[in-house]
Chains A and B, each alone.
Chain A
Amino acid sequence: MKDPEKPLEAHESDNEKRAEVSRRDFLGTSVVLTAGACVAPILFNKSALASEGAVPGGPISSAVDVTLRVNGTAHALKLEPRVTLLDALREEMQLAGTKKGCDHGQCGACTVLVDGRRTLSCLTLAVMHDGDEITTIEGLAGSDELHPMQAAFIERDAFQCGYCTPGQIMSAVALLREPCGASDDDVRECMSGNICRCGAYPNIVAAVQDVRRSKTT
Chain B
Amino acid sequence: MFAAAFEYHRPKTLAEAVKLLGSVKGARLLAGGHSLLPAMKLRLASPAALIDISRIAELSGIKATNDGLQIGAMTTHAAIAESDVVKKHCPVLAQTAEIIGDQQVRNRGTIGGSVAHADPAADYPTIMLLLGAKFTAANGKERQIEADKFFVDLFTTSLKQGELLTSIMIPAMSSAASAVYRKHRHPASAFAVVGVGVLLEVKQGKCADVRIAIGGATVTAVRARAAEELLTGQAPTVENIARASKEVGKALDSPISDSYASGDFRIHLATVMTRRALTDLAGAAR
- Which residues of chain A are near B104, meaning CB under 8 Å? 105, 108, 111, 118-120, 171, 193
Whether a CB of chain B sits under 8 angstroms from the CB of A142 is no
Residue of B nearest to A81 (CB): B8
- Give the contacting residue for A171; candidates B30, B103, B161, B261; CB below 8 A: B103
Chain B proximity mask over A48-61: 1 for CB below 8 Å, otherwise 0: 00000111111111
State which of B46-54, B67-75, B124-132, B276-284 sits at the interface with chain A: B46-54
Residues of B106-135 at the interface with A, using a CB-CB cut-off of 8 Å, are 107-108, 117, 119-121
Residues of B179-222 at the interface with A, using a CB-CB cut-off of 8 Å, are 186-193, 216, 219
State which of B34-42, B226-234, B237-245 sits at the interface with chain A: B34-42
SS class, residues of chain B in contact with chain A: loop
- Which residues of chain B are near A103, meaning CB under 8 Å? 1, 41
Given A1-B257, A39-B219, also A32-B4 (CB < 8 A):
no
The 6 A-B residue pairs with the shortest CB-CB distance in the complex, in nearest-first order: A193-B102, A81-B8, A18-B161, A25-B45, A29-B39, A61-B5
Residues of chain A touching chain B, judged by Cβ–Cβ distance below 8 Å, are: 1-2, 4, 7-8, 11, 16-19, 22-23, 25-30, 32-42, 53-61, 64, 80-82, 84, 103-106, 108, 111, 117-120, 123-125, 127-128, 171, 174-175, 178-179, 190, 192-193
- 7 pairs, A vs B, C-beta closer than 8 Å: A25-B28, A27-B44, A29-B38, A33-B38, A39-B258, A64-B8, A120-B108
Residues of chain B touching chain A, judged by Cβ–Cβ distance below 8 Å, are: 1-8, 10, 28, 30, 33-35, 37-48, 50, 52, 54, 78, 82, 101-105, 107-108, 117, 119-121, 152-156, 160-161, 186-193, 216, 219, 253-254, 256-261, 263
